[in-house]
């Protein structure tokens, strides 16, 4: 199972999901071990399968991550989730593929590397009172800004400096994230497992648990779950795990993320989730 050199702040305010999963699989007599994805001393051909779990620093080392995926592919390693899916999912440009399949996603303005950030133009395009600006390859709310137009103008120099290093995107800030929360639907081998609703702490917009967000487990509206299932069937049917993140707008799920690389799976929130993960893993290992 794949991890990274340091889990850092990501484990704050959360149970140790990785340890929970590891001990469960060991109890099932699977010979699992933890390996750091960018450890140069690992011979990846020694493993029957490579389970991607927590490479939570991949977006900080994206070129090295892509090179590692190429290595796994060239050595024909069995990887869960598949290499082609990991490579596709690392860059938010995958939103364009979702839209091409008539999946509703948050409206997005793409900011190429080296481009100049024009706050007025972006606010006009998105018709929003507040926007989110973040890297195209990102995670953990790194370099993510929630800005009014006035704040965006003041932040222009900072964003332009960041744009010299990598491409970004801009999206409207959805107040529903603060008022209702963000849904996460978790699937194993394309079969639905469980749902959580993530809410930000007062005064914040980031729903991640390591930023003080809270986790709830309400019964998801059927229409939202149906949309999540459609997304997984179209884009993650061959995946060990998939997490569909979105917000409900007028009773429809608007996709914010399709997490296929290193999502926290909220395994402690749903009875039987570890069993469902194990069953999905065993089916894929037999293929």
Tell me, what's the pLDDT at 205?
Answer: 47
**242 contacts 36 by C-beta, under 8 angstroms:** no
79-80 vs 50-51, strand pairing mode: parallel
Task: Report the candidate in 150, 155, 177 with the shortest Cα–Cα distance to residue 168.
Answer: 155
Task: Report the candidate in 46, 41, 39, 45 with the shortest Cα–Cα distance to residue 2.
Answer: 39
DSSP class of 260: -
191-199 vs 252-259, strand pairing mode: unpaired
Tell me, what's the pLDDT at 213?
Answer: 62
**160 contacts 118 by C-beta, under 8 angstroms:** no
Task: Report the candidate in 103, 89, 73 with the shortest Cα–Cα distance to residue 252.
Answer: 103
CB atoms inside a 10 Å sphere around CB 253:
25
Instruction: Report yes or no on whether pTM surpasses 0.75.
Output: yes
Q: Given CATH 3.30.1490, say whether it is the number of domain 109-173.
A: yes
* DSSP E strands, 108-176: 109-111, 130-135, 145-148, 168-172
**94 contacts 88 by C-beta, under 8 angstroms:** yes
C-alpha–C-alpha distance, residues 172 and 147, integer Å: 10
Q: Class assignment of domain 176-266?
A: alpha beta
Tell me the C-alpha to C-alpha distance, in Å, between residue 121 and each of 34, 125, 191, 201. 47, 6, 42, 31
Tell me, what's the pLDDT at 209?
Answer: 52
Q: pLDDT in tens for each of the 287 residues of the chain? A: 999 987 665 554 345 899 999 999 999 999 999 999 999 999 999 999 999 999 999 999 999 999 999 999 999 999 999 999 999 999 999 999 999 999 999 999 999 999 999 999 999 999 999 999 999 998 877 899 999 999 999 999 999 999 999 999 999 999 888 888 999 999 999 999 999 999 865 555 444 554 456 888 889 999 999 999 999 999 999 999 999 999 999 999 999 999 999 999 999 999 999 999 999 999 999 98
């Amino acid at each position: 199972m794949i991890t990274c050199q340091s889990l850092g702040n990501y484990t704050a305010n959360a149970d140790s999901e990785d340890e929970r999963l590891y001990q469960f699989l060991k109890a099932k007599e699977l010979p699992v071990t933890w390996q750091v994805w960018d450890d140069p001393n690992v011979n990846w051909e020694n493993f029957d399968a490579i389970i991607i779990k927590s490479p939570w620093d991949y977006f900080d080392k994206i070129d090295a991550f892509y090179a590692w995926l190429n290595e796994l592919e060239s050595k024909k390693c069995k990887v869960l989730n598949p290499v082609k899916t990991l490579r596709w999912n690392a860059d938010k440009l995958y939103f364009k593929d979702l839209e091409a399949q008539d999946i509703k996603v948050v409206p997005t303005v793409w900011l190429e590397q080296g481009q100049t950030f024009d706050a007025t133009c972006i606010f006009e395009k998105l018709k929003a009172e507040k926007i989110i600006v973040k890297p195209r390859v990102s995670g953990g709310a790194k370099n993510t800004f929630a800005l009014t137009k006035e704040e965006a103008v003041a932040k222009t120099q900072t964003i332009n400096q960041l744009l010299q290093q990598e491409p970004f995107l801009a999206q409207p800030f959805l107040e529903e994230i603060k008022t209702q929360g963000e849904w996460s639907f978790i699937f194993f081998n394309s079969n639905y497992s469980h749902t959580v609703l993530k809410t930000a702490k007062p005064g914040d917009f980031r729903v991640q648990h390591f930023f003080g967000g809270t986790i709830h487990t309400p019964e998801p509206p059927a229409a939202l779950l149906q949309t999540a299932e459609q997304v997984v069937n179209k884009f993650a049917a061959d995946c060990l795990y998939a997490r569909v993140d979105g917000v409900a707008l007028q009773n429809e799920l608007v996709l914010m993320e399709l997490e296929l690389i290193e999502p926290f799976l909220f395994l402690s929130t749903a009875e039987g989730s570890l069993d469902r993960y194990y069953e999905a893993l065993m089916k894929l290992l037999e293929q």
